[in-house]
Amino acid sequence: MIGAVDSAALLELVWAAPIAAITVVTAWGLVVYGTARAGEARRDGRTVRAALHVAMAGLGGAIFVSAIVLGLIVTTAKG
């Protein structure tokens, strides 16, 4: 009966799902971290540092939005 289970998909799920989740959470973490640090740098008058943190937040945001779009594609692809 155990042959009924798609073990290849199951194994792929076990490593792919955590990678996907960690990517999403890390990307949003970059947004939060970059935004907070950029605010602090601006208050200290360090504009270059602020710009670098804004860029970091932007990169994280782009990855996060891409992940959301990918999620939408997966959801709609079922139709």
Partner 1 sequence: MDSDIILVIVVATALAFDFTNGFHDTANAVATSISTRALAPKTAVTLSAILNFVGAFISIKVAATVAGGIVDAELITTTVIFAGLIGAITWNLVTWYFGLPSSSSHALIGGVVGAAFAASGTEAIFGDGLLEKVIVPALVAPVVAFLTAGACILITYRMVGRLRPGSVNRGYRLGQIASASLLSLSHGTNDAQKTMGIITLALIAHGTLDGPSPDPPFWVIVSAATAIALGTYSGGWRIIRTMGSKIYKMDPAQGFAAQGGGAAVLLTASHLGFPLSTTHSITGAVLGAGAAKSLSAVRWGLAGNIAVAWVLTLPAAAAVGAVTYGVSRIFGEGALGPLLISVSLIMLIAAMFGNRLRHGPPVAPRADAA
Applying CB under 8 A, the residues found at the interface with partner 1 are 1-6, 9-10, 12-14, 16-18, 20-26, 28-33, 35-37, 39, 64, 67-68, 70-72, 74-76, 78-79
Write down the least CB distance from residue 25 to partner 1, Å.
Answer: 4
Write down the least CB distance from residue 7 to partner 1, Å.
Answer: 10
Which residue's CB is nearer to partner 1, number 36 or number 51?
A: 36
Rounded Cα–Cα distance for residues 24 and 79 (Å) = 25
